[in-house]
Chain A
């Protein structure tokens, strides 16, 4: 019994090849899906380069634009091939060309062999998680999204507004409760073949093909129908920014990735040579039999999101110029400086009216925000 790897690739094919060899060296059968947008010439070269590997297949190619059905169709086709051609595969791991195994593949195989019935797929209802990219959560499942969010934002937004205005709602096919989660899963043969061979599949496929970002909900929802045991987490470490784009890992993340104890990370910058060298060759250093713990490295990524969306209070600078009311706190109020009175008037240390001027300055300019002294009338 072993683990089959599905790889979805679209760019940086030489890195994809390197990682494919790494999986294959550990005895994992591979099914590779290359995006239609990969030019025929590079695809041919890629195929030839990998032709010496045993147990490798290339599945039917689809167009995989972010947030569209193509990604699901590609995964389905590849999974079908995997289940049919490699009967010894018990778990199927969905990965991408920019994924990098952080721990020796044998550890992953052992880990899954110890949990033969478990499906690892992050899967939560919209009520459980507050992901609202583009202000949509439960509406992902009740509206239609024929326009691309990336390429046709105007039409996308308008069509959503029209549907909201008219109160249009799609019926969710009977029996399923929409779940969402990371698109990188690892499912058992049983669960996966139940999903793919379901007599109702055409109904589900038709429904999900108009859902927004179906690759984050198709398998996540249907796995709930069939799985005997779900662990609602992804074995692939991936962090997302405030727009739902994955954060990219670079050479300087090496120690951070080591600390995460995760099996696979995504997404790696193709030219991060140090990362590829360290994790694809240096097995001895990576060996550690512990539970994956992605939360160890959460801090820097959640701080990045915070910085991009809220920024530092009171800061005005070249890349932060908040509109009024969006300052997220001010550290200074408007103030006036009066200068030169000593030349005109004699003012006692108690000032004209109210507190001495110097004290007022100190309370106007303070890192915790301005405060105003109480002035007696």
Chain B
């Protein structure tokens, strides 16, 4: 990597920081409980809009993993998400009615909150429909993982997005508040993924899964990226560049081994495809606030809205993290 390239990366990082500073003026603190954050706490950052129905399970899932504090940006919800979150004792909440798209899909807001409150902490950035799974997550709290990463001098931990979907029509079983979404969306694609290396930023770029085959059957290269690096030992100079797909400095993107071995990694179970998805798709098509003018929702409405089913005979039913490990979707690395 030449000096010129390094210097360019430096400026990109500076640009992202400047952007996040500029965008933070659109954030209005609703409840600020950040004084409760203790050194060494693991923090969760999220941005959401109208996700009230998912929040009870989401918060409890991460509380059980050992998340100590939630820092959440509410992008103008109208379904009561804001009030619900404001009542939670371990949540700090910001509100904004600014454009999600112009905050680069929330990245700018969270970059700022992370620099402000996450410095020196392990920070997990997930959406309300993403459930983080890591090796031994059923027996060891997230603190065990971060302590181990600290001991191994590792600063970032990758977790691929795994799209989960139900068998049958997406809207066949209604999701109830507080329910584990994986009870409904319990199927996934075990092996139709494409992977390549992004030479510029050093991260891997993964595509595929049900969205590639059902929404983009004729143009799989347009399918959304599935590689994510949600768990990072945050330093105030860090910046997410594109969603949680990649970061700067580039060293944080090297969550994989190139010498033949396996590094440890996890999975984000993506419980997006519930009955709520179909109505969300219509709404988001109107708002056009998502990536590439909500291309994904458009592709959905064009391709499968008539018979909204993602299940196929090669689908695999989810059991636990060990199953994902055996399938090679994640790895224990040398954590035993």
Report which A residues bind B (CB closer than 8 A).
Answer: 239, 241-243, 245, 247-248, 250-252, 269, 271, 300-301, 303-305, 307-312, 315-323, 326-328
- Given A251-B139, A308-B333, A319 and B151 touching (CB < 8 A)? no
Contact A317 B260 (CB under 8 A): no
For A311, A315, A320, the residue with the greatest tally of chain B CB atoms inside 10 Å of its CB is A320
In the assembled complex, 12 residue pairs joining A and B whose CB atoms fall closer than 8 Å, in A order, are A251-B139, A269-B147, A304-B332, A307-B332, A307-B333, A311-B257, A317-B160, A317-B328, A317-B331, A322-B259, A327-B260, A328-B260
Taking CB atoms, residues of chain B closer than 8 Å to A320 are: 256-257, 260-263, 331
Taking CB atoms, residues of chain A closer than 8 Å to B332 are: 304, 307
Contact partner of A271 among B144, B261, B264, B329, CB < 8 A?
B144
**B312 contacts the other chain (Cβ, under 8 Å)?**
no
Report which B residues bind A (CB closer than 8 A).
Answer: 136, 139-141, 143-144, 147-148, 151-152, 158-160, 195, 197, 204, 206, 227, 255-265, 328-336
Taking CB atoms, residues of chain B closer than 8 Å to A304 are: 332-336
Question: What would 13 more interface pairs be, CB under 8 Å, given A311-B331, A315-B262, A317-B262?
Answer: A248-B148, A304-B333, A308-B333, A310-B261, A312-B262, A316-B195, A318-B256, A319-B262, A319-B263, A320-B260, A320-B262, A321-B195, A323-B259
Contact A318 B160 (CB under 8 A): yes
A45 to B256, CA, bound (A): 43
Q: Main secondary structure on chain A at its contact with chain B?
A: loop
Taking CB atoms, residues of chain A closer than 8 Å to B158 are: 318-319
Q: Main secondary structure on chain B at its contact with chain A?
A: loop
- For the complex of A and B, list the 7 residue pairs with the smallest distance between their C-beta atoms, beginning with the closest: A308-B334, A319-B265, A304-B336, A252-B139, A319-B263, A326-B260, A311-B262
Taking CB atoms, residues of chain B closer than 8 Å to A305 are: 334
A317 to B333, CA, bound (A): 12
For B257, B265, B329, B330, the residue with the greatest tally of chain A CB atoms inside 10 Å of its CB is B257
Contact partner of A317 among B136, B140, B143, B329, CB < 8 A?
B329
- Given A247-B336, A312-B262, A320-B257, A307 and B331 touching (CB < 8 A)? yes
A271 to B139, CA, bound (A): 12
A328 to B257, CA, bound (A): 13
Q: Give the distance to chain B from A304, nearest Cβ to Cβ, in Å.
A: 4
Contact B334 A312 (CB under 8 A): no
A322 to B263, CA, bound (A): 11
Taking CB atoms, residues of chain A closer than 8 Å to B259 are: 309, 322-323, 326
